[in-house]
Structure 1
């Protein structure tokens, strides 16, 4: 089976290409630069250097390759996670996902692709009691970045799931951690935690759902052939409130404990929302339909938990 991966050198793209190759698929990894294409080739996949905004070129390459499955992992995110960096990257990231993704999907449909898998978001469910499921409404009402991001992902999902000729699957990933992510030990968020720049805001009751990039890749590989068209939430088994996971994460990094600040002292409404209102999600559907099992959260060692509960 031939699988085309758009965004093959991103945080999830790298392990995804590796696992697809291990599973025996014929993999084509799309990237924007010749330099990154070398990394795709080193994994044994066929590198494709392509500008996603050149619709005709995208159409031609899909018609030439005739993949059975296309996986859209298109993003344009900064290495540094700050409010300013995210705001600066927002327009390009949205254009990459919306316009670039539309060109890719149109080309896939024209090339006779059978299944189309898209990256979506598993942590912007509407606030409420208990864990969210795929049927839970998304957080369309909220502070600026949350509401804008929710509308973006909803539109992306609708584009894929409404396609007449494609088996559309939207994978709602949780917060990524692992190699190449902001939360890796050498990532930017880890650096901020070491410098006590990531505090517990307010009551810290916002529940975060995590997923290791290797497990996200494994779920995506499973979705190549398993699962009916639709939405699947790809998170681990341990959603945790910020007030619980952040001290454990800091301890795991060997960092000092996080500071605590009041919600009133924080000027950014999105930051307060993440800290106090975020809703965790359940992975029951994905585990059953995809025959998939994520690992335990890395920093939930007995030693870390014992330390944070003192």
Structure 2
């Protein structure tokens, strides 16, 4: 199968290309920078420079690749994380990613229609953002929280947009948990080691995690099975912050995280950070296991954090 991977040099794209190739697929992968074309060549993909926010650029790249499936992994999260974190203003911090999830999605869908590409797989998000009512663990039947009244709302609206648009077009939206693995949590680990990543309140908010390699394997299955609808791509153990954050600190060789009251965290980091740490809802992966036949190499962040941070220190 010819796969067009939009966003081939991100943390997930770099793990996804080898798995697609190993499964026998031909991969054309995009980057926004000519300097990263050698990286794609080293991975074994045919690289192409593309601006996901330029409809003509997207149309030309897709026409050149003549794919059977488009995989939409375009974000600017690495760009956002490269600057000073602005947790109080996620609408500004992730502004380009929000555009890639709206305008970029529209550009890819238009290119798919113009070139008769029958299937699209798109990145969505499911870590702590389940609807904040009822139980702590949500399925695909539960809505995502709209974050009404929060600066996180534009980002959540963009996630809903990409899901609605892709599913309407007969594709699949993969709601990945919080990534960890090579290059994915370096900034968080640095903050943990500096004791600048505190537990807020009781740390009772749940999150779901996923190792990059498991996210990639689920994506390969979604491509090969021409999956449709929405799937939570998370590990087996959604957990509250008061469990995963101290464990992350221990695996990083850091002192236990400091504690911070909600009022002070809201002042310093904003509403979204407080919500995540105190009220967040995690997600179930039962549907992906059942319908895609997905098996995880890293079923829990507990062993996953230990393995990854040990690897990073050696």
TM-score (norm 1): 0.90
Provide the residue aligned with 1:175 in structure 2: 178
Q: Displacement of 1:228 after TM fit?
A: 3.7
Q: Do the aligned partners of 2:90 and 2:151 also contact (CA within 8 Å) in 1?
A: no
Q: Distance in 1 between matches of 2:106 and 2:68?
A: 18
Q: Do the aligned partners of 1:207 and 1:278 also contact (CA within 8 Å) in 2?
A: yes
Residues 238-257 of structure 1 deviation map (CA, whole Å, 9 limit, x = unaligned): 11100011111100110110
Q: Do the aligned partners of 1:30 and 1:48 also contact (CA within 8 Å) in 2?
A: yes
Equivalent residue for 2:144, pick from 134, 138, 148 = 138
Which 5+ residue runs of structure 2 have no aligned equivalent?
A: 308-314
Q: Distance in 2 between matches of 1:102 and 1:206?
A: 34
Q: Do the aligned partners of 1:72 and 1:116 also contact (CA within 8 Å) in 2?
A: yes
Q: Do the aligned partners of 2:171 and 2:226 also contact (CA within 8 Å) in 1?
A: no
Q: SS at 1:8's partner residue?
A: coil
Query: For residues 77-116 of structure 1, what are the structure 2 equivalents within 5 Å?
Result: 77=77, 78-80=80-82, 82-83=85-86, 86=90, 88-116=92-120
Provide the residue aligned with 1:129 in structure 2: 135
Q: Do the aligned partners of 1:143 and 1:273 also contact (CA within 8 Å) in 2?
A: no
| Distance verdict in 2 for CA 1:140–1:195, change over 3 Å | same
Residues 150-196 of structure 1 deviation map (CA, whole Å, 9 limit, x = unaligned): 21111111111112xxx310000000011121x2xxx1110000011
Q: Displacement of 1:59 after TM fit?
A: 1.5
Provide the residue aligned with 1:159 in structure 2: 165
Residues 258-299 of structure 1 deviation map (CA, whole Å, 9 limit, x = unaligned): 011111222121111011110010000001111112213344
Provide the residue aligned with 1:237 in structure 2: 236
Q: Do the aligned partners of 1:227 and 1:290 also contact (CA within 8 Å) in 2?
A: no
| Distance verdict in 2 for CA 1:252–1:303, change over 3 Å | closer
Q: Distance in 1 between matches of 2:106 and 2:91?
A: 23
Q: Distance in 2 between matches of 1:82 and 1:53?
A: 24
Provide the residue aligned with 1:308 in structure 2: none
Q: Do the aligned partners of 1:161 and 1:230 also contact (CA within 8 Å) in 2?
A: yes
Q: Distance in 2 between matches of 1:145 and 1:17?
A: 34
Q: Aligned pair count?
A: 297
Q: SS at 1:3's partner residue?
A: strand
Equivalent residue for 1:293, pick from 291, 295, 298 = 295
User: Please, what is the CA RMSD of the aligned residues?
Assistant: 2.0
Residues 64-117 of structure 1 deviation map (CA, whole Å, 9 limit, x = unaligned): 322000000010122347226855432222122211221111101211112100
Provide the residue aligned with 1:212 in structure 2: 211
Which 5+ residue runs of structure 1 have no aligned equivalent?
A: 305-310
Q: Do the aligned partners of 1:226 and 1:289 also contact (CA within 8 Å) in 2?
A: no
